A = this chain, B = another copy of it.
Amino acid sequence: MAKQNIFDNETFFDGYMKLRERQVNANNIFELPTLFSLMPDLEGKKVLDLGCGSGERCIDYIRRGASKVVGLDISEKMLEVARRDNSDPKITYLNMPMEDIDKLSETFDIVISSLAFHYVEDYCGLVNSVYSLLTDGGIFLFSQEHPLATCYSGKHDRWTRDEEGKKLYVNISDYCIERRNDSTWFVEGVQRYHRMFSTIMNALADAGFRILRVEEPYPTDEIIKKYPEYYDNFHKPDFLFVKAEKFTKGV
């Protein structure tokens, strides 16, 4: 199947950039803090960012001491922003679909990906490619949409609400049926792949990774005080994080 390059769609790109410019969004409240809480020591490390987007994270890796960063993205429009706003002599931006990383010749100490894997059809292929790009004991850290989020097919209301419209619970159907869900997000036909927890864990274990940490971020008391509308993240976490180590018997 063709690799999705939705970020080069004008309408999607503009909508997405506006969303990310807002200071109060799920990425800033849940996703980025969790990602950086799981971040290994980057001092002197070679880092690959799969789906680097506009490159803010790549700059941060350099600030944290990374010796080299390769930021890879399928969207040329995103990389234009990255090269304009987040360039550094130690950063190389590559316009390439992450499905093609097996073509990269160099190896990395750390591979990071933020909210990109739910767009990928061949999950096991990607995980195996990451494994082969990592040095022994290398760290693989990624976030993706949570399986309770990706399983939403749009066939019925996502939420059951009370009279005031408050979300009471999330309506889950066909969690065990893995599939591509085409949804409308800024534009029609945005393709997300639903996979069960077990499929994600087994792809990592089968590739040869040792799972070090799994996170499903939910609101702190502080977040609920400031942004009560995020209570629904107790019912359905938006994001899943996995930190894994390249496991080599005998090392």
Contact = CB atoms under 8 A, between A and B. Distances in A.
Contacts of A233: 176
Interface string A182-224: 0000000000000011100110010000111111101000000
A202 B214 contact: yes
Interface stretch (A9-17, A47-55, A122-130, A165-173): A165-173
Q: Give the interface size bracket for A toward B.
A: 20 to 34
Contact of A237 (B175, B212, B214): B175
Contacts of A210: 205, 210-211, 247
A156 interface: yes
A98 interface: no
Contact of A216 (B156, B197, B237): B197
B213 A176 contact: no
A108 B148 CA distance: 37
Interface in A117-171: 148, 156, 160, 168-171
B236 A216 contact: no
Contact of A234 (B171, B176, B198, B202): B176
B173 A201 contact: no
Given A213-B202, A214-B198, A170 B172 contact: yes
A215 to B, nearest CB: 6
B198 A205 contact: no
Contact of A170 (B173, B198, B236, B237): B173
Instruction: Classify the secondary structure of A's interface with B.
Output: mixed
A59 B159 CA distance: 47
Nearest to A235: B173
Contact of A197 (B156, B171, B197): B197
B156 A175 contact: no
B169 A218 contact: no
B172 A172 contact: yes
Given A197-B216, A211-B201, A216-B198, A169 B168 contact: no
Given A197-B214, A212-B205, A156 B177 contact: no
A236 B172 contact: yes
Given A197-B214, A215-B198, A216-B198, A234 B170 contact: no
Interface of A: 148, 156, 160, 168-177, 196-198, 201-202, 205, 210-216, 218, 233-237, 247, 250
